[in-house]
Amino acid sequence: MLQIKNLHASVEDKEILKGINLEVKAGEVHAIMGPNGAGKSTLSSVITGNEAFEVTEGEIILEGEELNELGPEERAHKGVFLSFQYPVEIPGVSVTNFMKTAINESRKAQGLEEMPANEMLKKIKEKAELLEIDRKFLSRSLNEGFSGGEKKRNEIFQMAMLEPKLAILDETDSGLDIDALRIVANGVNKLKSKDNAVVLITHYQRLLDYIVPDYVHVLYDGKIVMTGGKELALELEEKGYDWIKASLEK
C-alpha cells in the first residue's frame, strides 16, 4: 500500500527526516514510536503533503503511484487520512457541514455525483453512533471549544466518514482518558480491514494495548533505527528511549 524510500525532509532548511524507509501493506497496523523531536509528526505531515515541509530526497508511493508532487487534497482523494495531533479549530463551520463538503469534494474529484442528502444523514448517524458522539455535537463549530478527548474522537469520526485506505493517527491517544481511549480504539478496530492500513504514531505504549500493531518501528533522529513486533513497544516502555540511544552508541 505505502512505500517510503530514503525520505529526507526539511523545515526552514533544517533537516528533520534523514532517510526513512518504510513499507506498509494492506491489512497491516504499524506503530511508529520515538522520543520527542525524533521526527514523528514531521513524517505524518510529509506523507500527507503539508507544504510547510520540503521533501529534499526520496519517494512516497501509494499503491504504486508517487505522491511527492501532489497537494494535500489530492492525496486525501487517493485515500490518505491524517488524524491530527492538534486538530484545528474552525469557527463557523459545523462538523456536519465540514464532513458533507469533504465527502462531496472527494466525490467530485472522482467524477461522482454529490452524495444524496438522505444517504449522507444515514452515514453520519451510523458513524456518530460508532464513536458514541452526540447529535448536538455535530452541529457545533468544528473543534471550537471541544475538549481534548472530543477533538480526538471527532478525528476518528471523520476517518469513519471518509473511509481512507491509509490512516495515519498522530498521537491520537494523547489527551484521552481511559473511556475515550477505549471508544476511539474500538472505532479504529471496527474500521480496520484487509484492504486498508493504519499507521499509529505514538510516544507511549498505552494505545497499543487497544490497537495491536503488526510492526513497531522506532524513529530516532530522523531515521528508523529499530523494527520489531508488538513486544518491542513493551520493551521500549520498560527501558525508555535512553536505551535506544545507548544501544545506538554501542
The CA distance from 222 to 165, in Å, is: 25
Nearer to other proteins by C-beta: 154 or 205? 154
The CA distance from 67 to 186, in Å, is: 30
Shortest Å, Cβ 239 to other proteins = 35
For other proteins, the binding residues (CB under 8 A) are 48-52, 71-73, 75-77, 81-82, 84, 87-88, 90-94, 97-98, 100-103, 105-106, 109, 141, 158, 162
CA atoms within 13 A on the CB side of 13: 0
Shortest Å, Cβ 96 to other proteins = 8
The CA distance from 183 to 24, in Å, is: 25
Nearer to other proteins by C-beta: 11 or 162? 162
Nearer to other proteins by C-beta: 11 or 102? 102
Query: At how many degrees (to 10) do helices 178-191 and 148-162 cross?
Result: 10
CA atoms within 13 A on the CB side of 55: 24
Q: Which residues contact 142 (CB under 8 A, 6 or more apart)?
A: 88, 89, 90, 93, 94, 95, 98, 154
Shortest Å, Cβ 59 to other proteins = 20
Shortest Å, Cβ 18 to other proteins = 23
Shortest Å, Cβ 80 to other proteins = 8
Nearer to other proteins by C-beta: 90 or 248? 90
Nearer to other proteins by C-beta: 10 or 45? 45
The CA distance from 208 to 93, in Å, is: 33
Burial class (CB in 10 A: 0-12, 13-18, 19+), 112: exposed
Nearer to other proteins by C-beta: 144 or 214? 144
Nearer to other proteins by C-beta: 107 or 230? 107
Shortest Å, Cβ 90 to other proteins = 6
Shortest Å, Cβ 236 to other proteins = 29
The CA distance from 107 to 89, in Å, is: 25
Helices (H), 18-131: 40-48, 72-77, 95-109, 117-130
